[in-house]
Amino acid sequence: MSIVIVGMKGVGKTTAGFQLSEKLGYPFIDSDREIELLYNTSCREIWLKEGEVEFRRIEEDFVLNLNPKKESVIVLGGGAIESPKVQKHIGTLGIVVCLYMDKQRLRNLWKKEIPFYDRFEELYKKRTQQMSLFSGVWVDATSNSLVEILEGIVCGK
């Protein structure tokens, strides 16, 4: 069974997902990276040039077409879970793990680089509520080491 990692931008999904895929010997699929390869530009550039609505459509299409032939570790971009279609689909892919972080710590990380920082409160509340509907495993990335985060994912705590 595949492992699908969701969470807010900046919580460490890609780092944890890549390390987990190495540990388990599973292929690693990062939706943001795959979109960047398909469009030959960064997600940020797509966002800035095409706008949020178009970026979310691209992201949704990519996720809905995911159907790995073997067990994989799949990491989704932070906003992918806003789509009800994505919410339904990821449960068919495998175990959904939410990587989360203390709100204040994450806010401080966002200050450094996130173009939609001004929407942090709204997005944190909305996405946390959405993830609570379908994420069976929650792993705290606030102060845990990478080893502890991986252990939490594998052990389901």
More confident residue, 46 or 128: 46
Number of domains in the chain: 1
Tens of pLDDT, residues 12-55: 899 999 999 999 999 999 999 999 999 999 998 998 899 989 99
Q: What is the CATH number of the domain that holds 139?
A: 3.40.50.300
Dihedral (CA of 45, 7, 16, 147) sign: positive
What per-residue confidence (pLDDT) applies to 100? Answer: 86
What backbone torsions phi and psi does residue 144 show, to the nearest 5 degrees?
Answer: -75, 150
What per-residue confidence (pLDDT) applies to 31? Answer: 96
pLDDT at 151 over 80: no
Range of the domain at 137: 2-155
Model's pTM, two decimal places?
0.88
Determine how many CB atoms are found less than 10 A away from the CB of residue 52.
13
What per-residue confidence (pLDDT) applies to 59? Answer: 95
Tens of pLDDT, residues 85-127: 999 999 899 989 988 888 888 888 777 666 666 778 888 888 8
What per-residue confidence (pLDDT) applies to 114? Answer: 62
Burial of residue 24 (CB within 10 Å: 0-12, 13-18, 19+) is middle
What per-residue confidence (pLDDT) applies to 140? Answer: 83
